[in-house]
Structure 1
Amino acid sequence: MSEAGTQLRMMQAMAVHSVPEATANSRRPGVRMTLVSLAVLLAGTAFVAPAAAQNQSRPIPETSDDVRRLPIPPVDRSKAPLVVLTGGTLIDGRGGAAIPNAVVVLQGDRIVAAGPARSTPVPAGAARKIDATGLYVLPGLIDLHIHFTQQRGPNMGLYSDSPAAAAIRGSALADQLVTAGITAVRDVGTSDDVALRIKEAVDRGIIRGPRVFWSGRIISSTGGHGDEVTSTATGKQKPALGGETRGYNGPWEWRTAVRSQVRVLVDWIKLGAPADREELVAAIDEAHSLGVPVAIDSYGKYTDWAIEAGVDTLEHPLLMSDQAVPLMKKHGTAFVPTIGAFDNLLEGGYPTAGIPTGGFYHTHSRRFVIDQGDHLKRVTEAHRAGVPIGVGTDIPFENEWRYPDAYFRELDYLHQAGMSNADVLASATRVGARIMKMGDKLGTIEPGKIADLLVVGANPLESLKNLREVRYVIADGKVVVDGRE
């Protein structure tokens, strides 16, 4: 055996004898890597990384169009029909100046060309040409916080609820969203597998809807948000006191809960507070080790703990500490404020659900005052600090008439918090895509991206209200709203 090989064997033996210490420090980064690195140093070029480790760094040529990035067989789009938009002003979402008299070429579900007409030829044999002269072409909008299992308005108390009923309501909401130009959404808490089945129904062309990313049910401690006996919105006790708990207690139960969610194909993990610091750390670490991002509905000290543990997005500006925004900036946490969800409570409540004006009542996990001025202040603070801000609505009731208005109102709230029209539009497109962990596939109009486009009748950079003037919506390459109709 060579001298290098002998040294490597010695280091391997040292590593075996060091297992108790490495196990005790298994959450300290670099313990095992230190042993391997020392072995490599002593062995010179004799050490070769295992093939599996080498392959992990190689990009997968084609993946599923969701956060899980599952490897899929190569897709041949060369025979897919071409759709061409001409003459419109292109706001491609990349942050540059608008491009007048632009051409955008789509083939199948992908963008193949986008730019000025003088340098972007119109291909022959296009199956569809859309004259967008006088119109504005921009990326499809993104809503980062919805619930497909929301309740609709009148007479809801007369009907029993079920996952099947929720799926029917969710299908109606999906249609409302996509026809308003919202072409991608994140469901951050659903009954059973409702959001997954809506996602599949959209993908299969069974229903019209946006691209769906989902997070399953909220992971919470026993009695925490997501496991209350009383409704968070109304304070009413649930039948049979809510049944057996679905909460989790202790770091390993939280890890198990994450694994169970990943097992049923979630794109995101959603956590609820209150929770122990160790529980939050365990859940976030477990999700990230499996390549799944994490959102949290939190408040107070639990928010700070989650940010320090590496949570990807903070949902809502509830009872934020003065340290929260600096911590978000330090740790790269994104912010989805959902301002309108709380303003609805302060300005009229939800009458059909029996929820009075003023805030949350009778709810253990919401024992604090809702202050809209403070919410806007936190958004302003986060924006000035450079924290990524996304658009989310979180409307729990009466969605048949609150959507899509709730989305455009949310844009207005962000504007009130000091964001420019361009900033808000970026949050609704490019920044939202990055927060979703889909920035390489969504959020801008450029070759290779998914063909999700919105065409409106007036310039949204001049007024965000112009986003309501929908002329065409293209989702996954399909014309969902046709301006000719």
Structure 2
Amino acid sequence: MTLTNESPGAAAPFAPPAAGDVVVYRGLTLFDGTGGDPRPDVSLVVDGPLIRSVADEADTAAALAAGAELVDLTGHFVTPGLIDAHQHLATPPDRPAAEAVLRRLVHSGVTAVRDMADDLRQIGDLARAAMVGEIAAPDLHYAALMAGPTFFDDPRTHQVSQGAVPGQVPWMQAVTADTDLPLAVALARGTYASAVKVYADLDAGLVAAITAEAHRQGVPVWAHAAVFPATPGEVVAAGVDTVSHVTLLAHEAALEPLTSYKDKPPVDHASLVTGRDPRLAVLFSRMRDQGVVLDATASMWESEELTGDTPESAERARRNSELAVALTAQAHRAGVELATGTDYETAPGEPFPALYEELAFLVKRCGIPARDVLRSATLVGARSAGAGHLTGSVEPGKLADLAVFAQDPLADIGHLRTITLTVKRGRRFPRDAYTATATATRSRETR
């Protein structure tokens, strides 16, 4: 039944195309994200939001004969859509700022983001608006957070719980041994979260109990690499799906017992920066064997925010960058799957996102081959977000999430900056459309 006064709702100018709206992308060189070599002169057939075929000459000919739109990408290099596996878009909530970040991301080849806990009231609406096309944005996969009660005097927990009590909201819960964990996980699921994030001030037993209950309910667990007092080894032993922040793994070699998130002990820096510390070798072996993904955020300590403006903050950042280089490279050599998260963003006036900096750091500082880094930024990133069945590789049946470059980023990771087009769920986002919008915005702001 249709009511005559039913509102059509908000405009959705970026909505995915409908099934039956067929586009052929022809002549491109394809890095499909599955691990194979790039393939030249490939054609892709996209039907609505989905990839219908890859390098299928018969289907390409049939689509063109039926009147499909043709997009000639001769000379261009195509990858799956990129994924930033660690963002915070609503701490505190600021809808215009978040939309500006998302708009830049989607025009830079980023088709999905893993949001690692925020005010999910806003994130949930941003995720909905991105999916249906009300805003220009990547898809958002987000976590509901659990931590010990002592964590909830952190100012950020108040920023994301405005109007309520920090630790007592479904998206950010204080957990103790007395918590009804089946109910707590169900409340987290009710926020439409993709995962539970285990954060701080929880012992090994609670980390394991949360993880077991979340998995029983079919919910992945994303954890800080050290949860304090739970060590990295205990976090991995709990069976979590991903761990974040490679420098926190250094606490597997802490010189004193771990106590709380706010009281981190020193680590064996001299041994760790060799990239051959045996304690980390054991940990990385277990992570590899269990399939635990490492969201390294390796370049984070070179951001302006963490470098700071004092000699002390700069030295702290330098030492942590040294750790990030050594441990990320060691993890990669050990066969640990890496996802490419950032946990920061470049300044609003910058043309490209922090994800480009992370990928360059992994290649140039950590010595990881560009082929492996692009796989981390696509298929592994999708798996880290629980979306590997939807996106992350260019295969029939998956979402038509693509990044198109004028030059090959495998030859030079700096060629990410030659992005010309993003396709997200079949909807095209030309880079020059973003450039024109950004230029107009800057012009208005300087009047």
Q: Does 1:82 align with 2:25?
A: no
Select the residue among 408, 416, 427 that pairs with 2:356.
Answer: 408
* Alignment partners' CA distance in 2, 1:309 and 1:345: 34
Write out aligned runs for 1:164-203 (5 A). 166-203=94-131
CA distance in 2, matches of 1:80, 1:119: 14
Aligned pairs for 1:195-344 (under 5 A) are: 195-216=123-144, 218-224=145-151, 227-229=152-154, 246=167, 247-250=174-177, 252-299=179-226, 301-317=230-246, 318=248, 319-321=250-252, 322-323=279-280, 324-344=283-303
Question: Which secondary structure state, in structure 2, belongs to the residue aligned with residue 106 of structure 1?
Answer: strand
1:374 partner amino acid: L
2:52 maps to which of 80, 98, 112? 112
Distance 1:244 1:204, change over 3 A: closer
Secondary structure of the corresponding residue to residue 371 of structure 1: helix
| Partner Cα separation in structure 2 for residue 480 and residue 83 of structure 1 | 14
Aligned to 1:390: 339
Q: Report how far residue 444 of structure 1 moved.
A: 1.3
- The answer to whether residue 37 in structure 2 is matched with residue 97 in structure 1 is yes
2:372 corresponding residue in structure 1? 423
Quote the offset at 1:359 in angstroms.
4.7
Q: 2:307 aligns with which of 348, 373, 381?
A: 348
More displaced, 442-451 or 300-309? 300-309
TM-score (norm 1): 0.71
Residue 322 (structure 2) aligns with? 373
| Alignment match, 2:428 | 479
After superposition, what is the alpha-carbon deviation per residue over 1:136-172, rounded to whole angstroms, capped at 9, x for unaligned?
121110111111115xxxxxxxxxx6x4xx2332222
**What SS does the corresponding residue of 2:46 show, helix, strand or coil?**
strand
**Structure-2 separation of matches of 1:107 and 1:199:** 23
The structure-2 alpha-carbon separation of the partners of 1:229 and 1:348, relative to structure 1 and needing over 3 Å to count, comes to closer
Asked if the contact 1:135–1:456 (Cα under 8 Å) also holds between the matched residues in 2, the reply is: yes
Post-superposition Cα deviations, 1:281-329, rounded to whole Å, max 9, x if no partner, equal 1111111111111111242743221110101100001134224323312
**Cα distance, 1:347–1:269 mapped onto 2, change above 3 Å:** closer
What is the one-letter code of the residue matched to 1:268?
A: A
For this pair of structures, how many residues does the alignment match? 375
| Residues 82 and 231 of structure 1: CA distance in aligned 2, closer, same or farther (over 3 Å) | closer
What is the match of residue 75 of structure 2? Answer: 134
CA contact (8 A) 1:380 1:417 kept: yes
Question: Residue type matched to 2:299 in 1?
Answer: G
After superposition, the Cα gap between the structure-2 partners of 1:307 and 1:347, relative to the gap in structure 1 and judged at 3 Å, is: closer
Q: 2: distance between equivalents of 1:405 and 1:483?
A: 16
Do the aligned residues in 1 keep the contact of 2:117 with 2:143 (CA within 8 Å)?
yes
Q: Which moved more, 1:453-462 or 1:314-323?
A: 314-323
Instruction: Confirm or deny: 8 A CA contact 1:88 1:137 kept in the other structure.
Output: yes
**Contact persistence 2:19–2:49 (CA under 8 A):** no
Bigger relative contact order (CA 8 A; separation at least 6): 2
Counterpart residue type for residue 228 of structure 1: D
The one-letter code of the counterpart of 2:153 is E
CA RMSD, 1 decimal: 3.0
**Contact persistence 2:370–2:410 (CA under 8 A):** yes
Identity %: 28
Structure 2 distance, partners of 1:190, 1:114, is: 37
Deviation string 1:426-473 (CA, Å, 9 cap, x unpaired) is 101122222223222211112111100111001111011112211111
Relative distance call for 1:481 and 1:251 in structure 2 (3 A) is farther
Runs of 5+ in structure 1 lacking a partner? 1-76, 151-160, 361-368
Classify the secondary structure of the residue corresponding to 2:299.
helix
Q: Between Structure 1 and Structure 2, whose CA radius of gyration is higher?
A: 1
Deviation at 1:173, TM superposition (A): 1.4
Structure 1 residues 457-466 or 336-345, which shifts more? 336-345
Amino acid at match of 1:129: L
Structure 1 Cα separation of the partners of residues 97 and 188 of structure 2: 23
Partner of 1:73: none
State the 1:399 CA deviation.
4.5
Q: Which amino acid aligns with 1:219?
A: M
Q: What is the SS of the residue equivalent to 2:428?
A: strand
Deviation at 1:274, TM superposition (A): 2.4
Q: Deviations over 1:339-359 (max 9, x none)?
A: 1222226873389xxx96455
Q: Deviations over 1:69-128 (max 9, x none)?
A: xxxxxxxx9952111111111222222222211111100010011117588536224442
User: Where in structure 2 are there 5+ consecutive unaligned residues?
Assistant: 1-16, 168-173, 253-278, 437-447
Aligned partner letter, 1:458: Q
Once residues 405 and 78 of structure 1 are traced to their aligned partners in structure 2, the CA distance between those partners, rounded to angstroms, is 30
**Does structure 1 residue 442 correspond to structure 2 residue 401?**
no
1:121 is matched with: 61
